[in-house]
Structure 1
C-alpha cells in the first residue's frame, strides 16, 4: 500500500521533533532541573490539559483575530495588486506607503494604535499590517510576470484589459499569490501575538500572549511553555492548511507541484 504524499512529507520533521522532545525529557530528568527553570515535555503536556479552560479560549481569541486579519489582508492586498497592474500611476503613488508600513516595526506601531482604537481592533490592525505586504508584493509580481508571447497574442486579438487580467494575468499570478499567502498567514499570527503583548492588561486577558505574560509574572513556567506550544501548533496548522490549499489549487499543472 502506497503511503500518502502528505504523510510521507510529514514523517521526517515529525521524527526529528519526537527525537528533540525525547532528548529534552531525558535532560530534564537526568539533570534534575526544577520545573520553574525548565519544565519537561510531559509536564508541559499535563499543564496544557489541566489548564485547558484558560488556554483554549485564549487560543480561540488569538486565532480568530489572526484569521480575520489574514482575510482582510487577502482582500486588500489582491485588490491593490490588481490596481497596480492596471495603473502605473497608482503603483507609484501607493507602493511607497505600503513599504513604509512594512518596514516599520509592528511593536512600535501597536502602542500608538492602542491610543486611537480599542485593544481588539488594534491587535487586528497590527496583524493585518504585517500580513498585507507579502500578499500585495507577491500578487503584484505575479500579475506582472506573464509570458510576453501570450501577452502579444491577447493584444493581437484585441482583448480588453479586464479580459486579459482574468484570463492571463490572474492564472499566472496564482502561484505567487499562494506563496505570499503562506508567508502572510504566519506573519498575521506573529503580528497578533506582538500586538497582544503591547496591549498588556488593556487586552482584557483574552489572548495567548497575555496568558504568557501573566504566567511569567506568577512564575508559572509550565503554563508559559504550554501557551507557547499552542502558539507553535497554531502556526503549524495555519501553514499546513495554506500549503494544502496551494496543492489543491495548483494541482499538477504548475512546476512547483510537479517537482513534488
Structure 2
C-alpha cells in the first residue's frame, strides 16, 4: 500500500498536477493539504474518475484537507477533539479498508504555521500540537496500522534545513515547536523518511522567493508518522522532488511511504 501526502497550495490551481501525480505514482492513498476551497467546490469528479474515493474537510480560501483512496473509506472524522470554537479545517481522518482484508487508519494534517512569533498564532500552533498529541495517543491505543500524514510546519532538526541560522526567528524552527514534535514522536511513532534515509539535505518545501528551488534552499516539513503496526510494514519512502519542477508548481512536493501488507 502506497500512502502519500502533499500540500498542493490550492487544489483548483493544482488539479492537473494532482491528477498527473495520481496517474504516474498511483498511490493507494493521497492525503492533501491547503485545499483553499469549501467542500462543495472541491473538484471530486475528475479524481473519482480515476477510481478514488474522496473525503474532504474544506474551508473557503484557507486551509482544507482531504483523503483520496483507491479503497473504501469509513469512520471519517473531521477536526481534532477539544475544538473549543476552533473552526479551522486542518484535520481529517478515515479508516481505509485494505485489499485482502483488514484496515488502516490514515489522517491528513495541516498544522498551523505559527508565525509571526510573539503573537497568538504561535500559541495556537503549540496548543494545536498538544491536541494532536493527545488524540494520537488515543489512536495508538487501538493498536492498528496508523499513518499521520501531512504538512506539520515543523523543521525537526538542523539537517532538515539548508541554513539553520536563517530560520532561528521562524515558528517552524523554534525549540517549542520542535519539542512538541518530539513529544508526538515519543508516543511510539516512527518518522517514515528518517527510518529509511538518515542523510542531511532532504527537503519537501522550497519557497517561491529568492530562487530557493533553483539554489536548493529547502526545508523538510512534510512528514508521515507511523504507529508500530504500520512501521513494522514500512518498505521504502520517497520524496517526489520532480514535481517542484513542473509548471506553476506547489511550493511543497509529495512524500510517500510504501507499507507491505
- The interval holding the TM-score normalised by the smaller chain is under 0.3
Larger radius of gyration: 1
Give the TM-score normalised by structure 2. Answer: 0.25
User: Whose helix proportion is higher, 1 or 2?
Assistant: 1
| Higher RCO by CA contacts (8 Å cutoff, separation 6 or greater) | 1
User: Whose strand proportion is higher, 1 or 2?
Assistant: 2
